[in-house]
Amino acid sequence: MIEFKGVSKQFGSTKALDNISVNYSRGKIIGLFGPNGSGKSTTLKMIASLNKPDSGEILIFGRKPSKETREIVSYLPEIDYIYPWMTIKEAANFMRGFYGDWDEGKYKELIEFLKLEPDMVIKKISKGMRAKVKLLLCFSRNAEIVLLDEPLSGIDILTRDKIIETIIRDYRVGEQTIIISTHEIQEIESLVDDAVFIGRGQVILQGEAEKLRNENGLSLVELMKEVYRNENF
């Protein structure tokens, strides 16, 4: 389990996370939903140990975020972080050197599946292809925790399908914990076991996706609209 206990984070006068307490279950795919600026990226960066809380505690399978927990976390950031002048092969070499859980077999299989070429120069390929490169590098590791920050943002529908297919294909049920932050609930609704809705740095609603749907008689997309309308977002 990934636990947030009374976690707060402030940037200037903005409360990105406001005394948030929430658990993300181990071995599940969890959708982290919320409008712009609700604290989704801040949450993922904290689990990736790239950001520290001002107060409160985070425990990742019982351990505080650190260099050690970073080794079991594969993080796909919202922004393009890969050095643009690198080829895909060079970016992969870079990652291989960093992470002991790099899986060369998986990398080779995925690069073919995603129809990417090792010699492609990252700055010369399209945004959709760069999204695929980020996914390739993220899923070429056998990480216990996978954090995907807006993996579908700005991506065309066919590429989106391919990305969703990749997530489903490579997910190790029960062994891997995947947290997907997105506005595009509709597209990932069928993927997620649990949903966490946040707003203004606080949890608005959370639970098992199936239970939330049955209890409310609504899809997660409809539920999100309802929840945020009532909360005046």
Instruction: Name the residue nearer to ligand ATP (CB basis): 28 or 40.
Output: 40
The full 3-state SS of 169-228, as one line of letters, equals HHCCCCCCEEEEEECCHHHHCCCCCEEEEEECCEEEEEEEHHHHHHHHCCCHHHHHHHHH
**Residue 74 interacts with ligand ATP (CB under 6 A)?**
no
Q: Is residue 31 part of the contact set for ligand ATP (CB under 6 A)? A: no
- E-only strand ranges, 46-120: 55-60, 73-76
CB of 39 to ligand ATP, least distance (A): 4
Q: Is 40 in the site for ligand ATP (CB under 6 A)?
A: yes
Q: Which class for 90: exposed (0-12), middle (13-18), buried (19 or more C-beta within 10 A)?
A: middle
Q: Does 37 bind ligand ATP (CB under 6 A)?
A: yes
Q: Is 14 in the site for ligand ATP (CB under 6 A)?
A: yes
Among 42, 69, 140, 177, binds ligand ATP (CB under 6 A): 42
Which of 2, 7, 16, 195 contacts ligand ATP by CB under 6 A?
16
Scanning 38-46, 166-174, 188-196, 211-219 for contacts with ligand ATP by CB under 6 A, the matching segment is 38-46
Helix, strand, or coil here: 13?
A: coil
Binding segment (CB under 6 A) for ligand ATP, from list 10-18, 55-63, 69-77, 88-96? 10-18
Would you say 116 and 136 are in contact if contact means Cβ atoms under 8 Å apart? yes
How far is residue 212's CA from residue 207's CA, in Å, rounded to a whole number? 6
What phi, psi does 168 have (nearest 5°)? -65, -45
39 binds ligand ATP (CB under 6 A): yes
Tokens of 233: 């977002």
Residues found near ligand ATP in the complex (CB under 6 A): 11, 14, 16, 34, 36-42
